[in-house]
Amino acid sequence: MPRLCGRRYGVSKVLFVPYALFDYDGYTRKARNAFQNMGLELESIHEKEDPVEAVKEAQGIFIGGGNTFRLLKTLYDNNVIEPITERVLQSGLPYMGSSAGTNVATVSICTTNDMPIVFPPSFKALGLVPFNINPHYIDPEPGSIHMGETREERIKQYHEERTTPVLGLKEGSMLEVEGDKAVLRGKTGAKLFIRGQEPQVLEIGTDISHLLKSE
């Protein structure tokens, strides 16, 4: 995917955001190795003097996974929420996120699976798409006696409070968004939750571009 992204968008260097994990240096080393193997240079935002400038100069941005609350709080602390949103939505900066980095790309982090280990100033996120994503979406094991809520029940609870659609992205899937087109890629598929409707199972290859038009 990153190589594809590099080729398709003329990107040779990616700005990495390691804020979701505690050990920025270790995380950056791992990410740098992986990107170098794909022929892409990687710079981490935490090694740059001015994070806002780093975003302004980036050719492409990759936000990695970890804890979504820590990630969002650190994006706010470093004043890069608006600069990232502006560059992606207005100048088409290629954006890639995994796990927590996917959560923050959406309307809010209200459908993350993570523990609220730190208190961000808001749950409002980058809003690069007008819906929410639940990453690592998983259906309950048949016959489970665990009494905690299932993922589907949690998302239903969210819809008791809000109308934003939620895309449950299963392990091994990704959503590719380009302009006004959004298509499910990967191996496993997704489940789409619209308030007041039965959840829809979505196969790989499904075009969900209509969701980009929701408020």
Contacting residues toward a second copy, per CB under 8 A: 22, 66-67, 69-70, 99, 109-119, 122-123, 135-136, 138, 145-149, 154-155, 157-158, 160-162, 171
Provide, rounded to whole angstroms, the least separation between the CB of residue 88 and a second copy: 23
Q: Residue 44 or 99: which CB sits closer to a second copy?
A: 99
Is the Cβ–Cβ distance between 71 and 24 less than 8 Å? Answer: no
114 is catalytic: yes
Which of 44, 99, 108, 173 is labelled catalytic?
A: 99
Residue type, 79: N
Q: Residue 2 or 6: which CB sits closer to a second copy?
A: 2
Cα 114 from Cα 121, distance rounded (Å) = 17
Evaluate the CA torsion angle 35, 70, 96, 16 in order and state its sign.
negative
**Environment class of 121 (CB within 10 Å of its CB; exposed 0-12, middle 13-18, buried 19+):** exposed
Q: Residue 6 or 18: which CB sits closer to a second copy?
A: 18
Cα 131 from Cα 207, distance rounded (Å) = 15
Which of 114, 139, 144, 210 is labelled catalytic?
A: 114
144 is catalytic: no
Provide, rounded to whole angstroms, the least separation between the CB of residue 81 and a second copy: 15
91 is catalytic: no
Provide, rounded to whole angstroms, the least separation between the CB of residue 3 and a second copy: 21
Q: Residue 121 or 205: which CB sits closer to a second copy?
A: 121
- Report the SS3 class of residue 53: helix
Cα 179 from Cα 113, distance rounded (Å) = 28
Provide, rounded to whole angstroms, the least separation between the CB of residue 173 and a second copy: 12
Which residues lie below 8 Å from residue 140, measured CB to CB, with a gap of 6+? 150, 151, 152
Which of 46, 77, 98, 136 is labelled catalytic?
A: 136
What residues act catalytically?
99, 114, 136
